[in-house]
Amino acid sequence: MNPENLAKMGDMDLWELAALVRAEQSRRLREVADPATLTSEAFSSGFNSQGQALEPVVVSGMIVCHGSRIDKSASSHDCSFVKIDDEWVWDSPDLVSDDVRTAAERRVHMRSVSLVPAIEGTKVDFISSKCKSGVHEMRKCVSFEIIDGALSQVSARTVSKSSTHR
């Protein structure tokens, strides 16, 4: 396929072609991924010593998204989760696997690992918030985009406000 052929295509044909390319990229990445191993390794290395999620990484063609929620009291917690193309990772249509683990120690501690194919152009936002009395306040947002198969940090996007998470 060359640029001249693309220039001759109608808009709907281009949209269909883009969707087919994205689906094929996803299929190929899913084919080579080992979700069980990636998830196991991510639970071992994707959280700091306090159990807070670290930023996402790309491993074996998958975006490995770490998430955490650490309750401070019955009405407050700290949380960090990932949005993929402006949807929570667990709602992404490209989600390959999603493993959530909860531990009840002094306070409830939830960790998750979600895998999504690293498809060119995918937008990834790592969002850390503090919740008090049911109101989330974003503390940090680091925005990335998949460029040449890797996560590249971009200037922060405006992230839609959402109080709903796990």
Q: Which tens digits make up the pLDDT trace of 46-99?
A: 999 889 999 999 999 999 999 999 998 888 999 999 999 999 999 999 999 999
Asked, for residue 19, whether it belongs to a domain, the answer is: no
> Residue 155, SS3?
coil
- Of the CA atoms within 13 Å of residue 33, those in its CB half-sphere come to 24
For 14-49, the pLDDT digits (tens) are: 888 888 887 887 777 777 778 999 999 999 999 998
Asked, for residue 24, whether it belongs to a domain, the answer is: no
Q: What is the largest CA-CA distance in the chain?
A: 64
Tell me the average pLDDT across 95-121. Answer: 89
State how far the Cα of 101 lies from the Cα of 11, in Å rounded to an integer: 45
CA distances 2 to 5, 7, 15, 34, 120, Å, are: 6, 9, 16, 34, 19
Asked, for residue 59, whether it belongs to a domain, the answer is: yes
**What does the pLDDT read at residue 11?**
84
Asked, for residue 6, whether it belongs to a domain, the answer is: no
Range of the structural domain that residue 119 is part of: 33-154
Asked, for residue 20, whether it belongs to a domain, the answer is: no
For the cut 90, the answer to whether the pLDDT of residue 7 exceeds it is no
Asked, for residue 23, whether it belongs to a domain, the answer is: no
Q: How many domains does the chain have?
A: 1
Asked, for residue 160, whether it belongs to a domain, the answer is: no
Beta strand 123-132 with 108-117: parallel, antiparallel or unpaired?
unpaired
Asked, for residue 125, whether it belongs to a domain, the answer is: yes
Tell me the average pLDDT across 112-127. Answer: 95
For the cut 80, the answer to whether the pLDDT of residue 157 exceeds it is no
Q: Which CATH number covers residue 85?
A: 2.60.40
State how far the Cα of 66 lies from the Cα of 71, in Å rounded to an integer: 17
**What does the pLDDT read at residue 44?**
95
